[in-house]
Copies of this chain bind each other. A is one copy, B any other.
Amino acid sequence: MKIEKEDLDQTACTVHHLAIRDTMELLSGKWKLRIVGSLSFGKKRFMGLKANIDGIAAKMLSKELQELELNGLITRTVLNTKPTTVEYELTAYGHSLKPVIDVIADWGTQHRKKIIDEMKL
């Protein structure tokens, strides 16, 4: 049985697809990438995140944080303060997403420039 170039492409392509799907599933939802992006600037508390991420409701923030923690991307630390404060921080694994976030943010930045330039014409 001969292996055609098409087959190789097909295989490479399938793996590619699986990988993309995996990443996007982990980062699914409107807010996860934003939360990770926010935390990539340093650890933050619940209210800090809520203030930092414009428009997010407490319910969503709490839910998304739980999923991120389940997936080992962030840690949740309850501090012994009064009133109780909770710190969220990227794990090492969470930090491994930095290249992903950065390249997405970079593309978005230059895309926004392009759109603005086009408006000026």
- Which range holds the interface residue count of chain A? 35 or more
Report A63 CB to chain B, min CB distance, Å: 18
Bound complex: CA of A107 vs CA of B99, how far in Å? 9
Bound complex: CA of A16 vs CA of B9, how far in Å? 35
Judged by a CB distance under 8 angstroms, whether A17 is at the interface is yes
Judged by a CB distance under 8 angstroms, whether A60 is at the interface is no
Interface centre among A15, A20, A112 (most CB of B within 10 A): A20
Neighbouring B residues of A86 by C-beta, 8 Å:
none
Neighbouring B residues of A61 by C-beta, 8 Å:
none
Neighbouring B residues of A21 by C-beta, 8 Å:
34, 108
**Chain A 76-108 residues near chain B, CB threshold 8 A:** 96-97, 99-101, 103-108
In the complex, the answer to whether B111 meets A23 with C-beta atoms within 8 Å is: yes
Neighbouring B residues of A15 by C-beta, 8 Å:
109
In the complex, the answer to whether A17 meets B41 with C-beta atoms within 8 Å is: no
Neighbouring B residues of A121 by C-beta, 8 Å:
none
A-B contact pairs, 12 of them (CB 8 A): A9-B41, A16-B105, A17-B53, A17-B54, A19-B104, A19-B106, A19-B107, A22-B108, A22-B112, A23-B105, A24-B33, A99-B107
